[in-house]
């Protein structure tokens, strides 16, 4: 069974559209994250939720809105997509607060904005 699963794996869309990426983890973790990986493979955190509460919110345009309906899910909604939003988006989860706060990553969603 996949521990952290994201859908869709590929997303191709036009500029100006609104799209969502879903993430689910079955590890029983209480903390989930969204990362953006740019074309140079640099990984940067965007958001983190702990037990459905936002705990990390980096400098991300407010077109990006995370939503956590429960601690096993963290979805990412993006409004008015721009060309610069093209990237690979990774969801991750961990058992926050523990010393071995290891983050487990999903396989990524490759977003292409045309």
Partner 1 sequence: GQQLNQSPQSMFIQEGEDVSMNCTSSSIFNTWLWYKQDPGEGPVLLIALYKAGELTSNGRLTAQFGITRKDSFLNISASIPSDVGIYFCAGRFDLSDSWGKLQFGAGTQVVVTP
In degrees and rounded to multiples of 5, residue 83 shows phi and psi of -55, -40
84: left (phi over 0), alpha (psi -120 to 50) or beta: alpha
Binding mask 53-72 for partner 1 (x = CB under 8 A): ---x----------------
Closest distance to partner 1 from the beta carbon of 110 (Å): 8
Residue 12 binds partner 1 (CB under 8 A): no
> What is the biggest distance separating any 2 CA atoms in the chain, rounded to whole angstroms?
43
The answer to whether 86 touches 55, Cβ cutoff 8 Å, is no
- Exposed e or buried b for every residue in 58-80, given b needs 16+ CB within 10 A? eeeeeebebebeebbbbbbebee
**Which of 1, 28, 39, 41 touches partner 1 by CB under 8 A?**
41
Binding mask 69-98 for partner 1 (x = CB under 8 A): ---------------------x-x---xx-
The bridge status of strand 10-13 relative to strand 109-113 is: parallel
Residue 13 binds partner 1 (CB under 8 A): no
In the complex with partner 1, which residue's Cβ is closer, 9 or 16? 9
Q: How big is the site for partner 1, counted in residues (CB under 8 A)? A: 23
The answer to whether 20 touches 78, Cβ cutoff 8 Å, is yes
Closest distance to partner 1 from the beta carbon of 77 (Å): 21
Q: Which residues bind partner 1 (CB under 8 A)?
A: 4, 40-45, 48, 56, 90, 92, 96-97, 99-108
């Amino acid at each position: 069974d996949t521990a952290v699963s994201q859908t869709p794996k590929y997303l191709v869309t036009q500029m100006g559209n609104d799209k969502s990426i879903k993430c689910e983890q079955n590890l029983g973790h209480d903390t989930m994250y969204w990362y953006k990986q740019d074309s140079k493979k640099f990984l940067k955190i965007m958001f983190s939720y702990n037990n459905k509460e936002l705990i990390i919110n980096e400098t991300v345009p407010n077109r990006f809105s995370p939503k956590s309906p429960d601690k096993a899910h963290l979805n990412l909604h993006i409004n008015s997509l721009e060309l610069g939003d093209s990237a690979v988006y990774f969801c991750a989860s961990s058992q926050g607060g523990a010393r071995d706060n290891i983050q487990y990553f999903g396989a990524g969603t490759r977003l292409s904005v045309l």
